[in-house]
Structure 1
Amino acid sequence: MTDRSPDAVRLRDASIGYEDVPIVAHVDLTVRHGEAVAVLGSNGSGKTTLARGLLGLATVLGGDVEILGAPVGRLRDRGRIGYVPQRHTVSGAVPATVREVVAVGRLARRGLYRRLGPADRVAVGEAVAAVGLADRMEEPVASLSGGQQRRVLVARALAAQPELLIMDEPTAGVDAASQQALAEVLARVSAAGTTLLVVTHETGPLAEVLTRAVVVDQGRISYDGPLAGAATTHGDHHCGPAEDPARPGYRMDQPSVTARVLRPLGGGR
């Protein structure tokens, strides 16, 4: 099943984990196109594993998991999914400018060995402008603050013009100004129709953007409804950003390429 589905994410009796150990078990979840969903849970609850399962970073051990109408791992156009990993800063052995890092986001659409053209450069420029860093385009990423580097990672994901954007702890460890800037970016992205799935331990900065909450508790979904209901029914979900241990596996994160590689953000799909 690869044609357009009304669901951006669909899990049925899904179990997800590492090797043969399930962390999330027998979960049912549907996220419609255009929804903005927070995935909440205490430390070790399985919320990050749930998101990683959608990206091929954790193993689907049972049940059905579909993303954008295709079984997980079989989506032909990976550029339809954007991913901002649980990492606060951009690092690398080779110095890179903001433009170069964000341009890597186009590789999911164009492929590693194809030169990027004028439309790709437009997409990169629009992605950088969207996160408020247009005036820092040619500066080394290492010269930016942690919050600004976090916004560069968001721009890198946006450069692919994804239909679904998955973010893991996007506001953790960054200053209030960067959190507010990120909230404004996500509000515009959501208004344009992109589906948002945000794993977070604090919804405060994004409360005006995220309208639905899914609470993961001991590997099961214990709440699925309005964001406000999650706070009043299940208490505060402020937990540490490092929820599940990093595991080896297929990385859907963008590769660390710094070559000068460059459709507008609102372009057709």
Structure 2
Amino acid sequence: MEPILEIKNLTCGYQQEPVFTKINLKLYPGQLSGLVGPSGSGKSTLMKAILGLIRPWGGEIWFRGKKLNPGVAPLKVGYVPQVETVDWNFPVTAEEVVMMGRYQRKQLLPWASSSDRAAAKRLLSRLGVANVAHQPIGELSGGQQQRVFLARALVGQPDIVILDEPTSSSDLHVQHELLHLLADLNQEGLTILLSTHDLNSVATHLPWVVCFNHGIISQGQPIDVFTPATLEQTFGAEMVVFHQEDRILIASGMTTLRHQMKRNLPHILHKSKAVSD
């Protein structure tokens, strides 16, 4: 199978400081992948390079067998930005946000057509937020905002959707809802790449992960990739990995140590008291 997205020897940076150097990555049609790494590791920079939002210093990005022009937004690629980068006070409704995803496809008319509005309504309904279509985007809950921006990414009928930290500001319930929704869309054939530093959600919901910290550390299925050694190399801290049948639970080494000390403290105090007596 030919990759839908291929990154060859890509180097990116800001001013005189490189963020990553000569990385190579392939994503295949129908793949649901997580780009996992700490904040500041270069995940957003990589996504911006793919989306044409920044110009790489070197290397190539290929999409559907065609080389992308540096700094030019590719067609048929949907994008959901980090919630922190969105101006939630901008006076626009949920439906209008979704229709923004149709504008890059237009050749002549700058305004929304009846087919644009119909497509927006279908997606808002499909994602369970049709009831907020005419509400200002800033008045919606976090989960509703995420679904509206996902609808904006999907309305252009993309071949791949890229999501930058989609669960970073969401509670656990919203995170699981969104990840289940993405899994359903992936089952329908949509290729998805999302970045995150939430290891446990990734381990539970995503079939393929790429550990990233200024370069690719490792990639594969979570059960193979999420090892203490790889996670320490990725996050720069000791991690403890628990396996229970096909489930994975990850905790920091310090958190685990504190829990062990707290659990053992009554026993230690009892033993100390017995010795003193």
* Range of TM-score over shorter length: 0.7 to 0.9
Q: 1:79 to 1:56 in 2, by over 3 A?
A: closer
Write the distance in 2 (CA, Å) between the matches of 1:180 and 1:100. Answer: 26
Write the distance in 2 (CA, Å) between the matches of 1:238 and 1:147. Answer: 27
Q: TM-score, normalised by structure 2?
A: 0.74
Match of 1:68 in 2: 64
Contact 1:97–1:139 under 8 Å retained in 2? yes
Between stretches 166-175 and 88-97, larger displacement belongs to 88-97
Structure 2 SS opposite 1:193: coil
Contact 2:55–2:71 under 8 Å retained in 1? no
Q: 1:131 to 1:181 in 2, by over 3 A?
A: farther
Write the distance in 2 (CA, Å) between the matches of 1:72 and 1:20. Answer: 24
Say which of 218, 222, 226 aligns to 2:217. 222
**Pairs aligned (count):** 234
Q: TM-score, normalised by structure 1?
A: 0.76
Q: 1:132 to 1:205 in 2, by over 3 A?
A: farther
Q: Report the AA paired with residue 44 of structure 2.
A: T
Gaps of 5+ in 2: 237-277
Q: Report the AA paired with residue 48 of structure 1.
A: S
Say which of 149, 161, 166 aligns to 1:170. 166
Structure 2 SS opposite 1:109: coil
Contact 1:77–1:108 under 8 Å retained in 2? no
Contact 2:167–2:175 under 8 Å retained in 1? yes
Contact 1:88–1:172 under 8 Å retained in 2? no
Write the distance in 2 (CA, Å) between the matches of 1:20 and 1:66. Answer: 26
Contact 1:88–1:149 under 8 Å retained in 2? no
More helix by share: 2
Match of 2:242 in 1: none
2:18 aligned with 1:22: yes
Structure 1 residues 196-207: aligned runs within 5 Å: 196-207=192-203
Match of 1:262 in 2: none
Deviation at 1:137, TM superposition (A): 1.3
Deviation at 1:12, TM superposition (A): 1.8
Structure 1 residues 1-269: aligned runs within 5 Å: 6-73=2-69, 78-88=74-84, 90-91=86-87, 94-111=90-107, 113-207=109-203, 209-217=205-213, 219-233=214-228, 234-235=230-231
Q: 1:211 to 1:54 in 2, by over 3 A?
A: same
Write the distance in 2 (CA, Å) between the matches of 1:23 and 1:76. Answer: 20
Tell which has more relative contact order, 1 or 2 (C-alpha 8 A, sep 6+): 1
Q: 1:27 to 1:231 in 2, by over 3 A?
A: same
Contact 2:53–2:71 under 8 Å retained in 1? no
Deviation at 1:38, TM superposition (A): 0.6
Gaps of 5+ in 1: 240-269
Write the distance in 1 (CA, Å) between the matches of 2:85 and 2:173. Answer: 16
Structure 1 SS opposite 2:182: helix
Write the distance in 2 (CA, Å) between the matches of 1:94 and 1:216. Answer: 33
Q: 1:75 to 1:43 in 2, by over 3 A?
A: closer
Q: Report the AA paired with residue 5 of structure 2.
A: V
Deviation at 1:155, TM superposition (A): 1.5
Whose radius of gyration is greater, 1 or 2? Answer: 2
